Each structure stands twice: as structure tokens, then as C-alpha cells.
Amino acid sequence: MGGQGMETRAREVRVIDISDFEHRKAEIAEALWAASVEIGFFQVSGHGIAPDDISAAFHRAEQFFDLPRETKARWPLARNSGWEHKAQIRPSTRTPDQKESYQVTRPRMEGLWPGEEELPGFKQATLNFERQCWQVGMKLLSCFAYKLGFDAEFFTRAHNPDLPGYQSTLRMLHYFATDPALKHEVGLWRAGAHTDFDCLTLLFQRAGQGGLQVLPGKDAASEQWTPVDPVEGVITCNIGDMLTRWSDDQLPSNFHRVRNPLPHEYQGARYSLAFFCQANEDALIEGPDKKYPPITGAEYLRQRISANFSNKY
């Protein structure tokens, strides 16, 4: 899994238009389900988040990462909140991801926000963007609820942002600029191969800053990775492990990674924004056919994170 593998365009990451959602919900649900079963990834357009809001969110992330290292170090990562720098070592690669990230999990942000003197308006604007992401996430999850035979609000209740056990997370990511002449960068990954722990990930990428690849389960043996190209304005989405379990394994959570740029590609920094829909601590995860014993959202994340990052939670 840590090897280079091959890149293929034999599979398509579909763009699914979710505009006019209330009227088209059944049709949208079918399209989301088909893409998810096929590849575990899809991109949505017509999601209602304005392009200016997305640009502003990227701008805020750049401003945050431009702060001095000592300043960012005042907000260290704990339980999916705060800042880390080259701290994520993936079992697949055993090397630290070449990135820094800042995570926002609403109930766990005490002492972890930049002050008004450092980044004016940052906290409120970030929370507003987080809420917009949550809204899109809940729309998409309501389609999966429909297909799984749960009521439309089932996953919205399980991701209630007003409860102290809320654990959905907005993550800003900054992958460092690369230099192909630097030998010590050979074999490193911007993000090593992994699956996500959550139900559903919403990812914003920027045009010209590619490198994300997915390995659909069906192609695992051949290591044929499919590129997930950045398309301005769409949200790239993928199924995470929690929804795989909640769907009794009907929906696959697939391996993905971010490779370094090739020598002829743009070597500058890469920024991305991810929103992880992670069910609340006390939500009970149990599939329609009860294939696995019920487990709470808190216990599920604890198990997955400690298995992967030797208690970096």
C-alpha cells in the first residue's frame, strides 16, 4: 500500500448535481448510491455553497498557516481539534504526512482559537463555513438514510451540532511545496494511503493542486489508483468507515492518498479543506440488518484512531 502503484483513468469519479434537492431527492439518492458502491467517491455540484464562501475559506486557511510556528504551537492538536505539523504517521507509509493541519470540532475548541488580534473574524467565519458544510453533509446523508430504510432525519439527529457530544470536524490542510531535486523527499507522501473514519467526508480542492487518488476496493490487488481531479466549485465526497459499518458493509470506504507532484507538475503548496461527518459520541451505530453489534460514535472513533495512530487522539 505504501508503494507508488499505477494511475488509471479507467474509472470515473462522477459529478452529481444536487440542485433542486427537495424535488429530485429520489433520483439524487440513486445516483449517490450507485457512485458510492462503484468507487466510494463522487463529486457534487449544485450544493448551494457560494464560490465566494469557498474562496474565503481557503483564504482563511492560508492566513492561518502563515502565522508563525510558535503561535500555531499554542493550539496543539487533541481529539480532532487544534494544530499539528508533520505529526500524522500512516501505517501504510510509516512516514509523516508532509503537511500541517488545523481542526475544528465545535465542543472542543476552548483555548484553540486564534484571537481577534491575530486573525480578526476568523473564528466566526470558520464556524459559519463549518455549518454550511454540515448542511450539505446532512442532505447527502439523508439520501443514504433513504436508501438504507432509515427516516430522512436519521443521520441529522446522529450528527446534532447543538449537543456536547458533537464530533464532526472541519479540517484545514496545508501540504508543503516540494522540490523534486531534494532526494530526501523521494518516497514521502503528502498524505499516505488511508481510509477515513467518519460517515462521509466533504473535500474542497483547488484547481491546479491535484494529487488525490483513490484505490477502489475492486482494484486493490492491482494497485490501480484513480485520480480525483480538483474541479473548482464541486465538493469531492467519500464514504468513511463509520458508514460502511452503519450500512452493514453495503457502502465501501476506500483507500485514498495524496501523492507528491510529478517533476513536470506544479511544485507549490497544496491547500484543501475537509469536513468529516462523524456521528455524535452517543449515537448508536447499528445497520439495518444488524450485521455488527451496536457501538457508540465515541467508542467507534476511539477504536479506529488508537488502532491507526497509537493513541494520537
Ligand X SMILES: O=C(O)CCC(=O)C(=O)O
Residues in contact with ligand X by the rule CB under 6 A: 171, 173, 191, 196, 203, 205, 212, 256, 258, 272, 274
The distance of closest approach from Cβ of residue 278 to ligand X in the complex, given in angstroms and rounded to an integer, is: 12
Answer with the entry of ligand X, Fe ion, none that 258 interacts with (C-beta below 5 to 8 A by kind).
Answer: ligand X
Judged by beta carbon, residue 150 or residue 189, the one nearer ligand X is: 189
The distance of closest approach from Cβ of residue 113 to ligand X in the complex, given in angstroms and rounded to an integer, is: 21
Answer with the entry of ligand X, Fe ion, none that 272 interacts with (C-beta below 5 to 8 A by kind).
Answer: ligand X
Binding test (CB under 5 A) with Fe ion, winner from 196, 198, 219, 281: 196
The distance of closest approach from Cβ of residue 168 to ligand X in the complex, given in angstroms and rounded to an integer, is: 14
Site for Fe ion in 223-262 (CB under 5 A): none
**Residue 97 makes contact with Fe ion by CB under 5 A:** no
Judged by beta carbon, residue 57 or residue 173, the one nearer ligand X is: 173
From 122-130, 137-145, 196-204, 277-285, span contacting Fe ion (CB under 5 A):
196-204
The distance of closest approach from Cβ of residue 277 to Fe ion in the complex, given in angstroms and rounded to an integer, is: 13
From 57-65, 146-154, 178-186, 193-201, span contacting Fe ion (CB under 5 A):
193-201
The distance of closest approach from Cβ of residue 288 to Fe ion in the complex, given in angstroms and rounded to an integer, is: 26
Give burial (CB, 10 Å; 0-12/13-18/19+) of 117.
Answer: exposed
Question: Contact residues for Fe ion (CB under 5 A)?
Answer: 196
